[in-house]
Amino acid sequence: MRILYLVHQYPPEHLGGTELYTRSLARELALRGHQVTVFHRRNAAGEGQESWDDEGVRVWSAWAGVLNPMRRFLATFGEPALERALEGVLDEVKPELVHVQHMMGLPMASLRGIRKRGIPFVITLHDYWWVCANAQLLTNDRRQLCAGPRLYLNCARCALARSGRARYLLAFPAITALLAWRSHLLRRELALAAALLAPSEFVSRWYVAHGAPKDKLVVIPLGVERRFSAPVPRPRPDGPMRFVYIGGIAPQKGVHIVSEALRGLEGAELWVAGDESA
């Protein structure tokens, strides 16, 4: 089968969970005889695209300027250079299935182009981005858990806090209307997908509660490569038991919870390596 993955970012430039999962899945399907292609956005100046081979997976990288939070948000509403790049890939690859892993920084018009060709697409709901523009259900202004949009007024406040313009009250009506329009666009694509893949029952229930079609949701836990799942014997250290966290260290990742849990454990130390922006 000819399969195309759409994802916002891809290794080696980005090594987040969605990116690594997409690469692992694409490589595995290529090993099983499928023709697999990945299309992603690269964060680079100017406009362009290139393709390269990643262990049997053809990867298309397209770029349309350096991203910042505001430009990444606005890309949802349109990014002509990326739309043209994907159109070319669709014409060349002629996929039989498109698997959307993440659309942050990619234009929704891309999915309309896929539909026009009669190609079915499925969406994996890795986070809450399809409802929450911040993706994490964590407010930027108060760092509190969020239950979801409330007439998009709370979303506007959160967006302005992220941009550093929380005091610009005059922008509230425009931002609120823009977020409501974003929700309309994204909910329409959720309704038109062939299937919505949720990694847990909680994520499935949450999306249904926020307007996703229940009949299209399928719970499929995310897997890991077998070579990483087998335990590796290690000799017991003579000194402190060392725990290592490698990954994003933004607040929603919960590194502080690991730290608190180990604080009362005698003979343990925690090493952390990561990027505070992820």
User: 10 Å Cβ neighbour count for 122?
Assistant: 16
Summarize pLDDT for 76-124 with one digit per residue, the tens: 999 999 999 999 999 999 999 999 999 999 999 999 999 999 999 999 9
* Helical (H) or strand (E) element with 10: none
Note the pTM of the prediction, 2 decimals.
0.87
* pLDDT higher than threshold 60 for residue 166: no
| Structure confidence at residue 205 as a pLDDT band (50, 70, 90) | very high
Among left, alpha and beta (phi > 0; psi -120 to 50; other), residue 225 is: beta
Q: How far is CA 230 from the centre of its chain?
A: 27
Per-residue pLDDT reduced to its tens digit, 29-61: 999 999 999 999 999 998 999 999 999 999 999
For the chain, percent of residues with pLDDT exceeding 70: 94
Name the residue with higher pLDDT: 151 or 116.
116
> What is the predicted pLDDT for the residue at 173?
81
The CATH class of the 2-139+181-219 domain is alpha beta
CB atoms within 10 A of CB 89: 20
How is the chain split into domains, by residue range? 2-139+181-219, 231-273
Share of the chain above pLDDT 90, in %: 55
| Least confident among 157-161, 221-225, 231-235 | 231-235
State residue 167's pLDDT score: 59
Position with higher pLDDT, 73 vs 196: 196
CB distance 7 to 19 below 8 Å: yes
Q: Which residues of 19-56 are buried (b: 16+ CB within 10 A; e: fewer)?
A: bebbbebbbbbbeeebbbbbbbbbbeeeeebeeeebee
